[in-house]
Chain A
Amino acid sequence: MGMISVNINGKMVQVPEGTTILEAAKLVNVKIPTLCHLDLHDIKMVNKAASCRVCVVEVEGRKTLAPACATPVFEGMVVKTDTKKSVKARRTVVELLLSDHPKDCLVCEKNLECELQALAAEMGLRHMKYEGELSEFPKDDSSFSIVRDMTKCIMCRRCETMCNEVQTVHVLSGLGRGFDTVVGTAFNLPMFETTCTFCGQCLAVCPTAALAEVNNVPKVWDAINDEKKYVVVQTAPAVRVALGEEFGMEPGTVVTGKMVAALRSIGFDKVFDTDFAADLTIMEEASEFVHRLKHGGKLPILTSCCPGWVKFFEHQFSDMLDIPSSCKSPHEMFGSVAKTYLAEKLGVKPENMTVVSVMPCVAKKYEAARPELGHGGTKDVDIVITTRELARMINEAGISFNHLEDEEFDNPLGESTGASVIFGATGGVIEAALRTAYEWLTEETLENVEFEALRGIEGTKEATININGEDINIAVTHGLGNARNLLERIRRGEAQYHAIEIMACPGGCIGGGGQPYHHGDLEILEKRIAGIYSEDRAKTIRKSHENPMIKKIYEEYLGEPYGEKAHELLHTYYVPRIKM
C-alpha cells in the first residue's frame, strides 16, 4: 500500500493510503474531538456513521467541512483543524446537540460517564446557546435488562452498528424522519417483545444514557434491610478483575478480597462465589459431554453459560435446540443449590432466602426472570446487579474500597478452582471443561492445564485435542455475529466439532454489558483477561473436579454428576422463539 503525505495544521505526516484524517492527526498529536466515532477494530466494530459532525475540519479545496473520522486522506491534502471556521462549527454542532438533550445531568444514569457531557466540558461551553423543542419519546422499560430513553439519543448509531454488524441481532435501526428521527425497534415494539438477546453491548457503547441497564440497586437494599430475608450474594468471575476500575485502579487488577470485604460490609448475610457454581457447571457439562461422546449423543455440545447467547440461539437456531448443553448457567446453578442444599444446612426457608448475583452482564437480569429457572415456586436467583451497580452500592454505603483489607468468601459455596475463574474470559469455559473431561476420559493426570490455542481475543479459535487416540475438535467463539457464522456452518454440515464455547460479548464475560465502561479502549479487555489468567495461576487447585467442596456437595446432596438429582436442580431446557 502506498504512503501518502498530508499536511495537518502545518505539520507533515506520511500515512498509508486509506488512513482517515482523524488517524493521521493523531500521529502528529493533533486532537480532533469526536462523538459518534468508535473504532473497536479488534472486534470488527467500526462506527463510521459520521453523523454527529463533531469532528469536522477544513480541507483545502473543499467547500464544506470534512468529517475527520470518515474522510480518507489523499496525497497533498492540506487539513486545518484549528481555524476559527472549524472550531466554531464544531462548537455549534455540540451546542445543537445540547439544545435537544435533557438537562438532567446531575441525576442522570451516566453522570460523569457521559461522552456528550465530557465533550461539552472539553469545549468549555458555559451556556445553552440554542433553545427549542425537545424530542419526546416514551421510555421503554419493558425488559428486565435494558432501559431505552431515546430523549437522550444523539443518533450516533453506535448501538445499531453493534447490534447489526457485530452481533447480527438486527433489533435496532433508524426510524422516522427529521427532528423525530430516532433509533428504535421494528414497529416500535417494546424491547421485551423483540429478538433482543439483552447482551447489553449496545449500552456498553452508548455515549449517553439513551441506553442503560435496569437499575436493581434499590431492590438489593430493600432485601438487605428486610429483617425477614436471609440475603446471600454471589459474584461472577469477571467482576473481580473489573470492579477495581470503578475505584481508579488499573484494569485487570484482581480485587477479589476487597470485593468480598465490601459485600460483607454492605450487609449481605453470606458472601459466596459464582466460581463455586462454575466448578459445578464443569462437573455437569463435562459429564454431559462425556456421556454424549460415549453414547453417540448429539454433537457438537454447545456451552450454555451465556444467557444472551441462549436467547439468540432460541430465536435464530430454533431448529437446533438439541445441541446446547442442558446445564443451567453457573449463577442459576448457584441459586438452585443455595435455595435447597444451603437453605437446608442453614435452616432457612427457601422463600425467605434472597439470592443476589453480581454479574458483568445485563442479560443475566433477564435470565433470572425466565420462568423455568426456579424450584418449587421460588426463583433460583432473585436479583441481578452488574459490576457497575455494585460499585454504586459500595460508594453509597460509604465504603473506602481501596483501603479495605482482603477477606475470604464464606463456605461451603465459596470454594473454587482456577478452572472456574477462567470462565470470565473467552475460551475459559471450554478450557475448564477439557481439564476435567480429559482426566475422566483418559484416567490420566493432565500436566499442562493451559490450552493456549483457546485463549485470546481472536473472533473464532479452534483446537484439536487428542484424547485416547481420538481427535476432539474444539471451537471457541465470542460475539454473536461470529457465533452466527459458526452455527450456520454447522447447520450446513460444513463444520465438524465436538464441543463449542460461545459467549455473546466480545472478549467473553470480561467484556460484558454490565462491566465498567471501556469508552472505546479495548486494551482494557485484554488487561482484564490477563487478570483472569493470573488468578487462575495463583490457585493451587486448577481443575473443577478436584474442588473439595464440589466433591462434598455431590456426596452429601447431589449424588452422581449428571444424575437424577443433578438433573432436577442443575439442568434446564430451551424454547423456540420467533425469528424476527
Chain B
Amino acid sequence: MDRIENLDCLLNKQKELEHTMDIRKANHDNTEYRELLICGGTGCVSSQSLKLLENLNEEIRNHGLENSARASITGCFGFCEKGPIVKVFPEDVFYVGVQPEDASNIVNTHLVQGRRVERLLYEEPTLKKKVQTQHEMEFYKKQERIALRNCGLINPELIEEYIANRGYEALGRCLLEMSPKDVIHIIKTAGLRGRGGGGFPTGLKWEYASKQKSDVKYVVCNADEGDPGAFMDRSILEGDPHSVIEAMIINGYAIGANKGFVYIRAEYPLAIKRLKNALRQARTAGLLGQDIMNSGFSFDIDIKYGAGAFVCGEETALIHSIEGGRGEPTTKPPFPAESGLWGKPTSVNNVETFSNVPAIIINGASWYNKFGSHTSKGTKVFALAGKINNVGLVEVPMGITLREIIYDIGGGIKDGKKLKAVQTGGPSGGCITADQLDVEIDYESLYSIGSMMGSGGMIVIDEDNCIVDIAKFYLEFTVEESCGKCTPCRVGNKRLYEMLTKITEGKGTEEDLETMRNLAETIKLTSLCGLGQTAPNPVLSTMKYFHEEYLAHVRDKKCPAGVCQALLKYHISEDKCIGCTKCARVCPVSCISGKVKEVHIIDQDICIKCGACFEACPVNAISKG
C-alpha cells in the first residue's frame, strides 16, 4: 500500500475499500457473490482449517466460480469447541466442525445449488434443532463484540480490510484533530478499565504517564496471557492485530512516548506472525514509524518474547523481562507510569484493553458508556470452558449475569448435570456458587463475592467435581508459577498446597482448616505482587462457600464428589455379586478374594482404589463412595 500522507488520504482510502465489506455486513441473500470466511485462529488452524481453505479455493476454481465466490481466513469466531468454522456471506450461514474434505460438499451444495449443507449447521443442544444463521444462534444473541469487532469479519493479514472497516481512522483523528489531553479525556470519560485483571482506569493510567516529565517514555502491550484456559488476547492479536498497533500509537501520542513494545509469549507463534505482518504493513503505509501521516508524531513498535512465565503478566515483572532481567516483580511504588522500562515512565496496557481504544475514539465516550454496569463500562471477553455445552470466547456487556452467560450463551451444563460453581479470574479468582448466578458481573461485584475479573477465564464446575480438588488444582498452578521472590508466596502457598493435599488424602483435620484460612489471609496481605496476593483466592472462596464439602473431607473422611482417590472405598454388594471373578482377575494388587460363584470381598487395607474392579463388574455389584 502507498504511504498514507494525511487524514484525508486515509479517509479516501477507506471509502475506496469500504465496498469490500458490503457483502459481509449485508445479511441478505439477494446476491450472486459469496464470501466464505474460515477461522484462522490457532484452535481452528490446528484442526486443519488452512487445508480446508486451500480445498475450498480449489473447489471454487474447479467449478469455475472464481468470479462469484471467494474464500479467505478471518479471526476467531469464538465458537472454538465446534471449529473449524466456516461462515458464508451474505446469508450469514454458520458451518461448524468443518473438515478439509467437506470443501466439495460446501461448494457443490451451497455455492452451486444454493442449498445449505444441513449436516454442518450447528444444532442448538437444548432445542435439538439446526440453526440456519449465525444471528439466530443463542451463543451470539447476547454478545456485544467491541474488542472482537473484527474477529470473524476481516482478514487479519490484510491492512486494506482493517482500513475498510474504519481502521486507523481513530489514529488519524487523534494525531491530526485532537490534543493528547483530548485523547486522555475521551478514554477517561469512556470509563475503560484495564482488561488484564486489575481493572485500573485506563485513562487515569495514561494521564499519570502523560504528566511525567521525561525525555523518553514507553508504551508496553502486555500480551503475556497466562491464565490457564484464557485466550482472548491471543485471539485478538491473531484476528485483529492492527487494532492493537493502532491503539498503542494512540497511547504513545497521548503520553508523549515514541516507542512501544509488545511483550508476547513465544508460545503464540501465529499471533507473532500476524503481528509482525501487521507491523510491516503499517510501516509501509506510513501509519507506524517516522512522522505518521505527516503529523510530526513518530512511533515504532518492537516485539519482545516472553518465555511463558505466568508472573510476567505482572507489569513490573514484565518490564524486568523486557530489560533482559529475571521476570520478577518489584515493589510498587514506584509505579511503571512513573518509573518503568529502563527507569522511564511507561504505560503498560493489556491487549484487550488496547483493542477497545480505536472503537472508543471513533464512536465516542458516550457510545461506550452505554454498555456495561455503573462502575464497569463496555464489554468483557470471557473464555468459557469446563463442563459447559458451548466452549469458547464470548464478549458480553459488563453487568450481564452469570446465568445469562452460562445458560443462554453457554447453552447450559454438559450432559444435563447440575451446576456446582463457576471459577472466574483463573488461578487468581474464586469460585462463585450456583446461588450467585444472578450477580451482575463487573469488577466490583466479583471482588465482593471473593472472586475477580482477572483476564476473563470462566471455568464451569459441575457436581462431579470435588471442590477441594479444584482449589488444589488452581493452587498447584500458582505454586509452580510463583517467581519465588517473597516468602508468603514461595513458602506460604506451598504450605497451603501441602495442607490441601493432606485433606484430599484424608489426613486433614478441622484444625487444619482454621490454619489454612489464617495462612491464606496472611498470604493475601503480605505477598509482594498480585500473583501472591490473589493466589489463595480459590482456596478462600471454596472454603467459604463449600465449607460442608471441606468438612466432609476432614471430619467424615469422605469426598462427596467421589474424586479424591484416597477417600474412596470400593465395596462389593453381597446381594448383587454373582461370583464371576472378573473383578479379582483385573485387580492389579490382588486384593479381591472369593471363590467362583461366591460373593467376593475387597481387602480395604491393600486396595489402591484404582477402580479397575468397578469398571470390570458386569452386574454393577461394586459401588464407590
Contacts and interface: CB of A to CB of B under 8 A. Distances in A.
Interface of A: 48-54, 56, 64-65, 67, 70-72, 85, 88-89, 92-93, 96-97, 99-100, 129-130, 132-133, 154-155, 157, 173-174, 176-182
B375 interface: no
20 contacts: A50-B486, A51-B528, A53-B528, A54-B487, A70-B331, A85-B525, A92-B488, A92-B522, A96-B487, A100-B494, A129-B515, A130-B495, A133-B498, A157-B485, A174-B483, A178-B479, A179-B490, A181-B482, A181-B483, A182-B484
Interface string B589-603: 000000000000000
B436 interface: no
Given A56-B525, A93-B488, A176-B484, 15 more contacts: A64-B533, A72-B333, A89-B522, A96-B488, A100-B494, A133-B498, A155-B486, A178-B484, A178-B494, A179-B479, A179-B482, A179-B494, A181-B483, A181-B485, A182-B484
B326 interface: yes
B491 interface: yes
Interface string B507-531: 0000000010011001011111000
A154 B498 CA distance: 20
Nearest to A93: B487
B484 A177 contact: yes
A149 B487 CA distance: 18
B328 interface: yes
Contact of A99 (B483, B491, B526): B491
Nearest to A66: B331
Contact of B495 (A54, A89, A99): A99
B223 to A, nearest CB: 21
A85 B526 CA distance: 11
Contacts of A72: 333
Nearest to A181: B484
A60 to B, nearest CB: 14
B488 A177 contact: no
Most chain B CB within 10 A, of A48, A85, A132, A133, is at: A132
Contact of A64 (B480, B485, B487, B525): B525
B481 interface: yes
B309 interface: yes
Contacts of A51: 485-487, 528
Contacts of B479: 178-179
A174 B484 contact: yes
Contact of B490 (A49, A50, A181): A181
A155 B485 contact: yes
B516 to A, nearest CB: 11
Given A51-B485, A67-B331, A178 B480 contact: yes
Contacts of B515: 129
Interface of B: 309, 326, 328, 330-331, 333, 479-488, 490-492, 494-495, 498, 515, 518-519, 522, 524-528, 533
Contacts of B485: 49, 51, 155, 157, 174, 181
Most-contacted residue by chain A among B328, B483, B522, B524 (CB, 10 A): B522
B481 A53 contact: no
Nearest to B491: A96
A180 B479 CA distance: 10
A157 B333 CA distance: 20
Contacts of B495: 96, 99, 130, 132
Given A53-B527, A70-B331, A93 B522 contact: yes
Contacts of A67: 331, 528
Nearest to B476: A178
3 closest cross-chain pairs (CB), A and B: A181-B484, A96-B491, A92-B522
A568 B492 CA distance: 60
Contacts of B487: 51-54, 93, 96-97, 154-155
A473 B479 CA distance: 57
Contacts of B527: 53, 64
Contacts of A173: 326
B519 to A, nearest CB: 7
B526 A56 contact: yes
B524 A64 contact: yes
A129 B499 CA distance: 13
Contacts of B498: 132-133
A56 B522 CA distance: 11
B333 A92 contact: no
Contacts of B526: 53, 56, 64-65, 89, 92-93
A222 to B, nearest CB: 41
A360 to B, nearest CB: 33
Nearest to B522: A92
A541 B491 CA distance: 59
B494 A53 contact: no
A85 B525 CA distance: 9
Given A85-B525, A89-B525, A174 B490 contact: no
A181 B328 CA distance: 11
B480 A50 contact: no
Contacts of A100: 491, 494
B331 A179 contact: no
A174 B326 CA distance: 7
B524 A179 contact: no
A180 B491 contact: no
A49 B525 CA distance: 17
A52 B481 contact: no
A496 B293 CA distance: 52
Contacts of A50: 330-331, 486, 528
A130 B331 CA distance: 26
Nearest to A54: B487
A89 B328 CA distance: 23
B486 A52 contact: yes
Nearest to A182: B484
Nearest to B479: A178
B609 to A, nearest CB: 24
Contacts of A182: 484
A67 B485 CA distance: 14
Query: Of A93, A99, A157, A178, which is in contact with the most chain B CB atoms at under 10 Å from its CB?
Result: A178
A185 to B, nearest CB: 14
Most buried by A among B326, B480, B526: B526
Nearest to B501: A132
A252 to B, nearest CB: 36
Contacts of B481: 177-178
B533 A155 contact: no
A466 B519 CA distance: 68
B448 to A, nearest CB: 13
Contacts of A129: 515
Contacts of A132: 494-495, 498
Contacts of A179: 479, 482, 484, 490-491, 494
Contacts of A56: 525-526
B451 to A, nearest CB: 16
Contacts of B486: 50-53, 155
Contacts of A176: 484
A97 B482 contact: no
B484 A133 contact: no
B610 to A, nearest CB: 26
A132 to B, nearest CB: 4
A48 B333 CA distance: 12
A107 B524 CA distance: 35
B491 A92 contact: no
A384 to B, nearest CB: 34
Nearest to A96: B491
A50 B481 CA distance: 19
Contacts of B525: 56, 64-65, 85, 89
A177 B491 contact: no
Nearest to B310: A177
A97 B524 CA distance: 17
A174 B491 contact: no
Contacts of A130: 491, 495, 519
Nearest to B333: A72
B293 to A, nearest CB: 42
A540 B279 CA distance: 78
